[in-house]
Amino acid sequence: MATTDMVLVVDDSMLIRHTIRRYLEERGFRVESAANGREALEVLTRGLPKLIVTDLQMPQMTGSELITELKARQETAAIPIVVVAARSSVRDAQGETRAQFVIYKDIDIDEQLNQALSVLHDNHLSGSCSASATSLRKAAARAPSTTR
């Protein structure tokens, strides 16, 4: 996988940013992070990610406001988005229909990220985003299998 496969992680919780960063870096992604939507927009001036993972409830600029800004810009509108939410925010997370996947902070994040990578590869990234699809497929293949 090319080192240019960057994922942007946006969450006001340093612990969540670290957990998601560790998971993605172990699978070969370069990870940039931001503590809120405004910081995320600044990171985007330095390069576009293959995927954005964002919390919804953050200070200064919420995840929903960030998603609105991303979808309004031609260069970022097609970037897949994974929402990370506390289970107490289920209603908000389920209402955010512009995200391709929702994961919850208080459930096994590694397992959910693995599922998200697989779903994004299978449902969203095949075809027009072949480089992203290949990266996500390889990342999902390296992840430990999960059973339910």
The domain locations on the chain are 6-142
pTM: 0.75
Q: Which of 35, 34, 60, 53 is nearest to 45 (CA)?
A: 34
CA distance 50 to 116: 14
**pLDDT digits 0-9 by tens, 19-58:** 999 999 998 889 999 999 999 999 999 999 999 999 988 9
**pLDDT digits 0-9 by tens, 85-121:** 876 565 555 567 788 888 888 677 888 888 888 777 6
Would you say 105 and 16 are in contact if contact means Cβ atoms under 8 Å apart? Answer: yes
**Superfamily covering domain 6-142:** Response regulator (3.40.50.2300)
The alpha-helical segments, DSSP class H, found in 45-108 are 63-72, 90-95
